[in-house]
């Protein structure tokens, strides 16, 4: 349902075309300093970029309605609300009859029947990720008190793949300079081109996000089922359009030998580290002390202006569909901060659960 | 921790080298016919194959200790127990000082301290998957009453990748003929060769499992967070050695255009289907009515007999390690039934939660 | 924390003196008809009565912000918000130093430290029950579709105890006529007198609420731990000032013989009923088919204007405290609808969980 | 269902007349010293007393099957098993047709149908409390490392009520000397007489248990819903035959004035205490630092040998029933240790959740 987390718990509400979207974030320890600006600046990173994003213009001003008093958490539930302003619901009724390929329309209509709120995707809307980012900003502030930092970037858009390794510090700053959230100027230019090409053809394009977290204590995660990787994966699949999640070498590891994939331990500067990080910072479901390294695959935006084949559910016959409206040709750049926030929420939950962060 | 599921709930217990392993499966509706043989035959599929598996010889006889009376579930908690017989704990003490690369040893020692039960991996042991399979047999029996069927096969071992599409019926029978659980004789031979080559070099090799489920009603899964894909992913990452999970086109979708990836709807034999299944049977976190299609990446077995670099945690210095003992050069063939069982448990939980299966 | 329920799940937020209070109600099936008026009219029953209640004048207008579209639930999370208007926080700062006897001040200050929002009791405020009532109105509407009805009344105020048995239909209507929510005019007058006497002395007085539910299917509740009585009890203790919960004969049963307390079965009009209902409608944690019958004990309002002994936490010395401000001399009348709503939320959750209400 | 707790989590399994009963206790921190003897000695206190108890002679030997290695917890799930030995299922089949008054038979038969395991009450059996006690012994050992101690005694049997206040130290030792678990010799004699009288008449009798806990840190419990009193109440209602739970003055508080019921704070020996403890150690759902004080009401054993009125569910007609077999005329003495153990499990869970006990 719309609640996730045990010790730090997020509950989402709202819908794309109702009064607004928001969340309740519960379990954040009292006394954490977090300003409205901190939250807002993260949410702003999720807004569509000029040029490559949708034309829907939402200001997405986050209203902190409880749980933060005078810039400090009170220990009570934090209530965040974001008004919907620029809604245009007129074009959605048709999708009750002719579901959009690649969207939740069809199974949602079967599951919820006529009462399904199809305007803007209703409860399935990508807009539900705005409060995830807002809540994630608070989770990040909490993690930072323990030296945990999270940063993500666009690793691929369509066929353009960034194969370079990047310094963590780079990722915390560079991607914010580019509308594509790429980790460098060259790849940013190529990715932008890939997006603009798809848009010009009335099409969309997928991509992938890589997220890293450093400073995590060793042993975060609970075996057997509430593992670090399992909880992160569950959270990532909540982000609309995610189709795959992998850690470290991930799917590549399945083609490797043990002698290649095992990360040898060594002492470096008096600390136990591994020479490589094919494990992506997770061993046995627990953080290993090496950087957490996950990749998330996003499918192309389902809404495209190209004509598509669909069916008329009433007439029970084949038909075609042209989706009008304002859509992102690629949601990956906007998803980068969502992946960061989602990661932060899971890490905060597991850190509090495991006693790594006091309550 | 060791409990997963809401309406159908699994709790694992045991350790690799204690008296045994087992589980409690709760929430299975009363009156379901399930025999000890059904459970045992599935657990037997997890046993190592002659030739390509470990020499540890466990009979893995499942004792049904409550919840099934006269071959029928009572509605109470089902308690399954599997004795450990062939344990040899002598070689594990060393890993307290010199952790095995690629294993949970190091973070577990930090998290649990001296009290960590390191024998056979303790609570992190792959042996914990035996009760998952036993419980999964019951979940499968439940799903079958509604026409839901699950089947998996080895899609890749090391560099050997099965790129063919297979008929669902094929997958329910063919892989059980081959020790590699491959979906056909040719690829089975190649995969066996790949495993034997790794073994002969004192090495191990990874691989991937593809799992399909048909007959699932439309709308299984709960938005936003308890989605079909999210719950499955969380469960899969509980299986030791899993490093990636994807649905349908998965990571490939990230390189695609929307016009390629979107699955067009059409009416076939009066029913709404999609022409392709890049979505892998999941839209908006709900089952779409098309076959559920997931792929799970397994890293190579961490225990290899080749010498590896590690550290001495006491002396704080680099050292090398040679792991003796009996290990699978590739756990993928044994993992096939684990993936099937794990899938069944999640589907049973979500079907009961969603009211698709009565209580 | 602030979330309760499995299939029907309530999450509270807000604080007494912030912008407002509210909740997210998740898991309500789609298509349920429920109007803003239905919700508002229940919330209005919680408002203080002229004469016997606090002077704090809150309109408590419920804003339905998502999950209900055109008077019908959409199946998505329902977000309800109630603004705080009449707040006066000036007098609360003193309680950081001198905690109020009978209030949460002292343990909350120890638990949350300086960051604790003490204004109006913060997250511990009785005002948090307003969204419980709002959500309960929706749960009631859901239960009514299956013929389940809930009604409560004030059974005692101080020494005034209503020992009469009342017809269920009486309880659904009569108590709403009296500001005390008593089940008849005579006892209402006596109770009002008891409250006014306490108020005139600068004191407060406790009381008890009895709640009945009829029409519940047999078998609602999950053994062993998620029992009908256990879940109800947990919920009731969330209501501020509750100190005891009992079912049927309750504590009186502890003084009885089995032959007295056992409710004999008999066939009446072709149906299995019990002659008495000492069980209060619960056997083995399951609904028995007889009316659910629970009693909830409320302590007297902790805030009284009489001088009280307390301590100065800074100076570590004894002191006295006079609490000014606007307080109910007896919260029991206002708690009647809270108990009804809380009961409805638990029954809705257990009915959906158990498949008695479809999703 | 059969799982309770968040950070310290108990899962029950088994049935009265199957191979045995047991539990999985998860989340106990590693390195806790706990011997098989400690567990066994607590479970032994639950065995029926000669003279006043049932003739069913179960040794109830607890087998620790995982999670405790060399007398120390490993951090993994603890699996405890108790064999059933002295079972006689022959007499239970009749209750499928003629349900026993006061038992779960009737609603369980409706809920689970023919598959319901009615032998010995199946999953509803009081025998399920044996593993609760075994698990509680471990929770107690955990709490004792932080100075938390729990003790309970029989406060009433039928009309015999112990109105005396007892020193906490007294309660930890004296009740164990008497088969009735009374807190002194005189009241013990009276209670024994009350039980024997009921037995001699083929009847049973109820009673109440009072449980105290000292040494609890301030602030244990999570507002709003996972409160100290709420979690304890939920747990207590899982114990078969419980019909009421109250804290401190409890139901008596409902007849009191605020000026009487409010516990005044004072400084004693430099510490903040309250002069009285009408709150029973709970304010706002949090532990207050004063002793936790709860009372639990038990109804009389439902199984009596006196003839009772019941119905024939097949013939749909009234009939009478005489229950043969071996039953306790009063389960209260055996329930004392169950209440202690249940309290320990809740306190351990809340202490770990709240960070009062490290993981």
| CATH code (residue A349) | 3.60.150.10
At a CB cut-off of 8 Å and minimum separation 6, what does D168 contact? D149, D151, D212, D214, D291
Chain D partners within 8 Å of B18 (Cβ) = 65-66, 69
Residue D317 domain-assigned (yes or no): yes
Q: Are C206 and C300 in contact (CB under 8 A)?
A: yes
How many contacts does B have with D, using Cβ atoms within 8 A? 143
Q: Quick check: B89 pLDDT over 80? A: no
Let me know: does A246 contact A210? Beta carbons within 8 Å.
Answer: no
The string of pLDDT tens digits covering residues A230-269 is 999 999 999 999 999 999 999 999 999 999 999 999 999 9
A116 and C27 within 8 Å at the Cβ level: the answer is no
Nearest CB among C76, C223, C359 relative to B355 is that of C359
In total, how many domains does chain C have? 1
Closest among A319, A327, A290, A298 to A121, alpha carbons compared: A327
Residue D64: domain span = 3-353
B249-279: pLDDT as tens digits: 999 999 999 999 999 999 999 999 999 999 9
**Residue D33 CB neighbours (<10 A):** 13
Residue B87 to chain D, least CA–CA distance (Å):
14
Q: How far apart are CA C41 and CA C35, in angstroms?
A: 10
Least confident of A76-90, C93-107, D161-175: A76-90
> Which residues on chain B are in Cβ contact (under 8 Å) with D18?
65-66, 69
Across the interface, whether the CB atoms of C117 and A14 are under 8 A apart is answered no
Q: Residue written as tokens 């309680």?
A: C95
D352 CB burial (10 A radius; 0-12, 13-18, 19+):
buried
Q: What pLDDT is recorded for position A67? A: 95
Which residue stretches of D228-331 are H helix? 228-236, 258-261
Contacts 24+ apart (CB under 8 A), A259-264: A259/B203, A259/B204, A259/B304, A259/B306, A259/B308, A260/B300, A261/B102, A261/B206, A261/B299, A261/B300, A262/B101, A262/B102, A262/B300, A262/B302, A262/B304, A262/B308, A263/A290, A263/B101, A263/B102, A264/B101, A264/B308, A264/B309, A264/B310
Using a CB-CB distance cutoff of 8 angstroms, which residues of chain B are in contact with residue D9? 1, 3
Mean pLDDT of B120-133: 90
Question: Taking CB atoms and an 8 Å cutoff, what residues of chain A touch D76?
Answer: 223
C280, C292 contact by CB (below 8 A): yes
| DSSP assigned state of C16 | T
Contact D120/B at CB under 8 A: no
- In this prediction, residue A73 carries a pLDDT of 97
Question: Chains that contact A by 3+ CB pairs under 8 Å?
Answer: B, C, D
Tokens of A290: 């090496």
> What mean pLDDT is reported for chain A?
95
Distance CA D147, CA A359 (A): 20
Position D18 pLDDT exceeds 80: yes
State phi, psi for A51 to the nearest 5 degrees: 95, -55
Query: Which of C13, C65, C74 lies at the smallest CB-CB distance from A122?
Result: C74
In the predicted model, what is the mean pLDDT of chain D?
95
Which residues have CB under 8 Å from A252's CB, separation 6+?
none
The alpha-carbon radius of gyration of chain D (Å, integer) is: 21
CB pairs under 8 A between A and C: 145
Report residue B172's pLDDT band, with 50, 70 and 90 as the boundaries: very high
Give the H/E segment covering residue D69.
strand D68-69
Q: How far is CA A166 from the centre of its chain?
A: 20
ipTM over 0.95: yes
pLDDT of D325 over the 90 cut: no
Query: Of A53, A77, A55, which is closest to residue A65 (Cα–Cα)?
Result: A77
Check CB contact under 8 Å for D354 and A355: no
> Among candidates C105, A343, B221, which has minimal Cα distance to D279?
C105
Determine, for residues C255 and D3 on separate chains, whether the beta-carbon distance falls below 8 Å.
no
Q: Which residues of A touch C75 (CB under 8 A)?
A: 111-112, 115-117, 123
D16 touches chain C (CB under 8 A): no
| pLDDT > 90? residue C164 | yes
User: Of D101, D107, D280, which has the smallest distance from its Cβ to C263's Cβ?
Assistant: D101
Spatial contact of D227 and D327, defined as CB atoms under 8 Å apart: no
Determine whether the interchain pair A24/C27 forms a contact, defined as Cβ–Cβ distance below 8 Å. Answer: no
Q: pTM for this structure? A: 0.97
Judged by CB atoms closer than 8 Å, whether chains meet at D355 and A354 is answered as no
pLDDT band per the 50, 70, 90 thresholds, residue B49: confident
Is residue D142 situated within a structural domain?
Answer: yes
- Residue among B225, B355, B356, B358 with most chain C CBs within 10 A, to mutate: B355
Q: How confident is the model at residue D49 (pLDDT cuts 50, 70, 90)?
A: confident
Alpha-carbon torsion (A39, A45, A46, A47), positive or negative: positive
- Residue A56: band (very low, low, confident or very high) from pLDDT cuts 50, 70, 90: low
Tokens of A188: 């940013």
Provide the pLDDT for residue A172: 97
Closest among A173, A139, A284 to A219, alpha carbons compared? A284
Kind plus residue range of the DSSP H or E element containing C43 = helix C36-44
Name the residue among B6, B223, B355 with its Cβ closest to that of C355. B355
Per CB-CB distance under 8 Å, the chain B contacts of C223 are 76
Query: What DSSP designation does A92 have?
Result: T
C-alpha distances in Å from residue A212, one per residue of A150, A209, A266, A333, C55: 6, 10, 21, 16, 55
Q: A145-170: b or e for each residue (b if 16 or more CB lie within 10 Å)?
A: eeebbbbbbbbbbbebbbeeebeeee
Q: Does A6 touch chain D (CB under 8 A)?
A: yes
On the question of pLDDT at B327 being above 90, the answer is: no
Say which of B237, B270, B280 has its CB closest to residue A233.
B237
Per the CB < 8 A criterion, the answer to whether D14 and D22 are in contact is yes
C-alpha A51/C-alpha A54 separation (Å) is 8
Residue B96: inside a domain, yes or no? yes
The answer to whether residue C27 sits within a structural domain is: yes
Tell whether the model's pLDDT for residue B22 goes beyond 90.
yes
Task: Looking at the complex, report in whole angstroms how far the Cα of residue C74 sits from the nearest Cα belonging to chain D.
Answer: 26
Task: Reduce the DSSP state of residue B171 to 3 states and report it.
Answer: helix
Residue C50: is its pLDDT beyond 80? no
Q: What is the DSSP letter of C145?
A: T
Q: Mutate which of D355, D356, D357, D358 to test chain A, going by most A C-beta atoms within 10 A?
A: D355
Report whether pLDDT(C359) > 90. Answer: no
pLDDT of residue B56: 67
A70 min Cα distance to partner chain B (Å) = 31
C6 touches chain B (CB under 8 A): yes
Q: Which residues of D touch A358 (CB under 8 A)?
A: 355
Yes or no: say if C288 and C218 are a contact pair by the CB < 8 Å rule: yes
Q: Are D102 and D331 contacting, i.e. CB atoms less than 8 angstroms apart?
A: no
CA of C80 vs chain B CAs: smallest distance (Å): 19
For chain C, which chains pass the contact test of at least 3 CB pairs under 8 Å? A, B, D
> Is pLDDT of C87 > 80?
no
CA distances from D138 to A169, B7, D3, D8, D343 (A): 47, 28, 17, 11, 12
Residue at D358 is within a domain: no
Of B1, B14, B31, the CB nearest to D79: B14
Residue C264 lies in a domain: yes
pLDDT band with cut points at 50, 70 and 90 for residue D339: very high
D255: closest CA of chain C, how far (Å): 4
Q: What is the pLDDT of residue C56?
A: 67
pLDDT at D118 over 90: no
**Residue D316: φ, ψ to 5°:** 55, 50
CB contacts, 8 Å: A222 with chain B: 1
Chain D residues with CB under 8 Å of B19 CB are 63, 65-66
Among A72, A74, A113, whose Cβ lies nearest the Cβ of C122?
A74
Which of A6, A358, A359 is opposite residue D6, by nearest beta carbon? A6
Min CA distance, C54 vs chain D (Å)?
16
Residues 139-158 of A with CB under 8 A from B: 156, 158
Q: How many beta-carbon pairs under 8 angstroms link B with C?
A: 12
Distances, alpha carbon B328 to alpha carbons B48, B50, B197, in Å: 8, 11, 13
Cis omega (within 30 of 0) on the bond before A224?
yes
Inter-chain residue contact B359 with C359, CB threshold 8 Å: no
Q: Is D287 a domain residue?
A: yes
Q: Closest-CA residue in chain D for A8? A: D353
Contact map slice: B 76-115 vs D, CB within 8 A = 76-79, 111-115
Q: Residue C222: closest CA among chain B residues belongs to which residue?
A: B27
Q: Which pLDDT does position D56 carry in this prediction? A: 67
CB burial string B97-123: b at 16+ within 10 A, e below? bbbbbbbbbbbbbbbbeebbbbbbbbb
Q: Is A237 on the interface with C (CB under 8 A)?
A: no
**Which residues of B are less than 8 Å from C6 in CB distance?**
6
Residue C7 touches partner B, C-beta closer than 8 Å: yes
If we measure between CA atoms, which residue out of B140, B133, B142, B144 comes closest to residue B215?
B144
Q: Which residues contact D75 (CB under 8 A, 6 or more apart)?
A: B111, B112, B115, B116, B117, B123, D28, D29, D30, D31
Looking at the domain assignment, is residue C358 inside a domain?
Answer: no
Q: In the Cβ-directed half-sphere of B124, how many Cα atoms lie within 13 Å? A: 30
**H, E, C per residue of B88-124:** CCCCCHHHHCCCCCCCCHHHHHHHHHHHCCCHHHHHH
Question: Is the pLDDT at C55 greater than 80, yes or no?
Answer: no
- Which residue in the set C6, C358, C359 is minimally distant from B6, CB to CB? C6
Closest residue on chain D to B17 (Cα): D66
Mean pLDDT score, D44-61: 83
Residue C69 has pLDDT above 90, yes or no: yes
Runs of H (alpha helix) within C123-280: 129-144, 168-173, 185-200, 228-238, 258-261
Does the pLDDT of residue D319 top 90, yes or no?
yes
Distance CA C267, CA C272 (A): 5
For the sheet containing A9-14, what is the strand order?
A3-4, A9-14, A20-26, A78-83, A62-66
- Identify which of D15, D19, D116 has the shortest CB distance to residue B30: D116
Peptide bond into D259 cis (omega under 30): no
Q: Quick check: A237 and A347 in contact, CB under 8 A?
A: no
Interface test with A, best of B109, B124, B254 (most A CBs within 10 A): B254
């Amino acid at each position: 349902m719309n609640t996730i987390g045990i010790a730090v718990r997020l509950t989402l509400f709202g819908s794309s075309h109702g009064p607004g979207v928001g969340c309740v974030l519960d379990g954040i320890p009292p006394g954490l300093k977090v300003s409205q600006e901190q939250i807002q600046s993260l949410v702003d990173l999720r807004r569509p970029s000029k040029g490559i994003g949708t034309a829907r213009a939402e200001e997405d001003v986050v209203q902190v309605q409880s749980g933060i008093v005078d810039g400090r958490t009170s220990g009570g539930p934090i209530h965040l609300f974001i008004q919907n302003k620029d809604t245009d619901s007129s074009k959605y009724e048709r999708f009750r009859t002719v579901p959009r390929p690649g969207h939740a329309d069809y199974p949602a209509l079967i599951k919820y029947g006529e009462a399904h709120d199809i305007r803007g995707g209703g409860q399935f809307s990508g807009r539900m990720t705005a409060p995830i980012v807002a809540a994630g900003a608070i989770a990040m502030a909490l993690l930072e008190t323990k030296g945990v930092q999270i940063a993500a970037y666009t690793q691929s858009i369509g066929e353009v793949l960034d194969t370079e390794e990047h310094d963590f510090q780079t990722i915390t700053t560079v991607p914010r300079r580019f509308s594509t959230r790429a980790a460098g100027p060259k790849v940013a230019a190529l990715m932008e081109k890939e997006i603009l090409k798809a848009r010009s053809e009335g099409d969309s394009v997928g991509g992938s996000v890589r997220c890293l977290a450093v400073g995590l204590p060793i042993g975060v995660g609970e075996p057997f089922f509430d593992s670090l990787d399992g909880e992160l994966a569950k959270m990532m699949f909540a982000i609309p359009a995610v189709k795959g999640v992998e850690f470290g070498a991930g799917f590549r590891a399945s083609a490797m030998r043990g002698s290649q994939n095992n990360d040898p331990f060594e002492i470096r500067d008096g600390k136990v580290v591994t020479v490589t990080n094919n494990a992506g910072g997770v061993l046995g479901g627990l953080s290993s002390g090496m950087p957490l390294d996950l990749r998330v695959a996003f499918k192309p935006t389902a809404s495209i202006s190209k004509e598509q084949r669909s069916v008329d559910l009433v007439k029970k016959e084949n038909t075609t569909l042209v989706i009008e409206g304002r859509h992102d040709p690629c949601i990956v750049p906007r998803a980068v901060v969502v992946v960061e926030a989602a990661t932060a929420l899971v890490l905060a939950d597991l850190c509090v659960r495991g006693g790594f962060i006091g309550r």
